[in-house]
Amino acid sequence: MPAQKRAKKAAAASHDAPEEAPKVVKKAAVGAASGKRVLLVDDDTEIIESMRTVLESRGYTVLTARDGNQGLVMAESENPDLVVLDMMMPKRSGFLVLEKLRRSRPVPMRVIMITANEGSRHKAYAEMLGVDDYIRKPFAMDRLLDSVDRLLNS
């Protein structure tokens, strides 16, 4: 390509800079989370979609499961880098999933438990099982992102 055409193309591209900026930011975020896979296990579709949106915007690959049994199967077969696990779900609770994951894996999988339950006994039990973080619903997505980033990029 002649130098004049390259210069015109570069000048035209500089006029589009505001549109290009989000792509650059996204690429930087993708680099930080590159290759990291997060499994979301929750029976609430709205919560799953909200978490998926913010995690994918950070460059994480997101897998989803709608109940505890499906979540356990996916955790064992897909081997994600992190599981975000709801405590109360149909078929198998988050506690039962966490117990099984802790018994069946030589290297513990990173797990964030989310719950609407206010009880301190539940939190204590989750911590006894080795949960990496415990987040009460409703929560700000920044709180989730901070925890995910800390656990996966440390």
Q: What are 92-113's pLDDT values in tens digits?
A: 999 999 999 988 887 889 999 9
What was the pLDDT predicted at 34?
64
CATH, range 38-152: 3.40.50.2300
Q: How confident is the model at residue 20 (pLDDT cuts 50, 70, 90)?
A: very low
Q: What percent of the chain has pLDDT over 90?
A: 68
The DSSP output letter for 80 is: -
Per-residue model confidence as pLDDT tens digits over 34-79: 679 999 999 999 999 999 999 999 999 999 999 999 999 999 999 9
What was the pLDDT predicted at 32?
52
Is residue 7 helix, strand or coil? Answer: helix
Nearest one of 82, 74, 99, 59 to 133, comparing CA atoms = 82
Question: Among 24-28, 102-106, 118-122, where is mean pLDDT lowest?
Answer: 24-28
Residue 56's contacts (CB-CB under 8 Å, 6 or more residues apart) are 62
